Amino acid sequence: MEQTQAKQEPVRLMDLSHGSGCGCKIGPGDLHEILGSIGHSITDPRVLVGNDTGDDAAVVKVRDDLALVQTTDFFTPIMNDPYRFGQVAAANALSDVYAMAGTPLCALSLVAFPVDRLDRSILAEILRGGIDKAREAGIEIVGGHSIDDAEPKFGLAVTGTIHPDRIVRNRGAKAGDVLILTKPLGAGILTTAVKRSLISPDQEEAVFRNMAALNDGAARTMQRHYGAIHAATDITGFGLTGHLYGMLKGSRLRAVIQMADLPLLPGLDALIAQGCYPGGGNRNYRYVQSVLRFSVAEDMKERARILVCDPQTSGGVLMCVDPVSAADVITTLCENSTLAAARVGEIMEEADGPLIEIR
Ligand code: CO
Ligand code: CO
């Protein structure tokens, strides 16, 4: 008997995931506790950047003029379209190499896919997205590993290179530094709107372009202005304030963020008004709550909280830049066509330990 094939609806990949993109990460507080409980500390002197400072990638010295930058990132679908999901996941994984001012060398793919439940052509499209994005970064995906899993996941393990004396770490901010951000915020809100079918085609295009954009221009800029970039990190699942807190922890510095200067994706306010934002933002808020101060009007507080805690996927690079060089750095970012080159705040002394003030 011939089986009649039901008319196939296109698969919405995001419906298959419990939390999308970097929003599926284990929370920063939880992760810290788990890692602390095993008390692992790195003793190999060749490790120039390890896991103790929560930096974006590890850096291991090979020779006096060469070090490897190692990182991996993978997550559940953040776009419904498999080709786009592949591109975003690859751009996101590459980003941690760029955030250290490194240059990608090669990558391995990490794949989880329900081979019996979903058409294999979907996986082929995810991989094609990853391969194309890696090529845009000038590298090849040279291998990988895949497992059968109910929930699709994709990402890369990336190896990059860097000169051991030109590493940009997440720690090192100085009082007086200007904070510069290289992509607009709001990807968590817009991808939640995709998930809830509340998004316009224009907005969906904007958030895709935002997440798929490589942070290579930011990396080239940091190399060019090396001495002036005191610290940097890329903004991903922990949101602007979560990652900023990671840069300030253990310091006696305060960061001031100017809400009016934050570059934002289109249409966020209407979505926030409808209650459309990801739960991961609340989790991020709880993580930074004790160091966060809002100096904004009472009725603007909720909006500010949601935006500065919004979990990003493949977000921009946040740099702490010597104020003397800030204008030149912004010019170079523009020459390198980063999606934003915005001065969003500054770093100041704080006698009582780190504090993030939202103005
Ligand atoms: Co990172
Ligand atoms: Co990462």
Q: Which residues contact 211 (CB under 8 A, 6 or more apart)?
A: 21, 78, 79, 88, 91, 92, 187, 191, 313, 314
Banded model confidence at residue 8, pLDDT cuts 50, 70, 90: low
Banded model confidence at residue 2, pLDDT cuts 50, 70, 90: very low
Mean pLDDT of 277-291: 94
What count of Cα atoms within 13 Å lies in the side-chain half-sphere of residue 178?
18
- From 170, 86, 159, 93, select the one nearest 128 (Cα to Cα): 86
Beta strand 66-75 pairing with 153-162: antiparallel
126-145, pLDDT tens digit by residue? 999 999 999 999 999 999 99
Rounded to whole angstroms, how far apart are CA atoms 296 and 238? 22
Banded model confidence at residue 33, pLDDT cuts 50, 70, 90: confident
Rounded to whole angstroms, how far apart are CA atoms 201 and 196? 14
Is residue 162 left, alpha or beta, with left meaning phi > 0 and alpha meaning psi from -120 to 50?
beta
**CA of 73, nearest ligand number:** 2
Distance from Cα 9 to the centre of ligand 2, integer Å: 33
Predicted local distance difference test score (pLDDT) of residue 286 = 94
Distance from Cα 179 to the centre of ligand 2, integer Å: 20
What average pLDDT does the chain have? 93
Distance from Cα 92 to the centre of ligand 1, integer Å: 8
- From 245, 350, 234, 345, select the one nearest 287 (Cα to Cα): 245
Distance from Cα 246 to the centre of ligand 2, integer Å: 13
Distance from Cα 101 to the centre of ligand 2, integer Å: 14
Q: Which pTM was predicted?
A: 0.92
Banded model confidence at residue 353, pLDDT cuts 50, 70, 90: confident
What count of Cα atoms within 13 Å lies in the side-chain half-sphere of residue 335?
11
The environment of the single-atom ion ligand 1, i.e. residues with CB closer than 5 A, is 56, 96, 234
**CA of 92, nearest ligand number:** 2
163-207, pLDDT tens digit by residue? 999 999 999 999 999 999 999 999 999 999 999 999 999 999 999
Dihedral sign, Cα of residue 59, residue 170, residue 106, residue 79: positive
Banded model confidence at residue 24, pLDDT cuts 50, 70, 90: low
Q: Which residue has the higher pLDDT, 222 or 4?
A: 222
Check 22, 24, 309, 320 and give the catalytic one: 22
DSSP sequence for 218-270: HHHHHHHTGGGEEEEEE--TTHHHHHHHHHHTTSSEEEEE-GGG--B-TTHHH
Banded model confidence at residue 19, pLDDT cuts 50, 70, 90: low
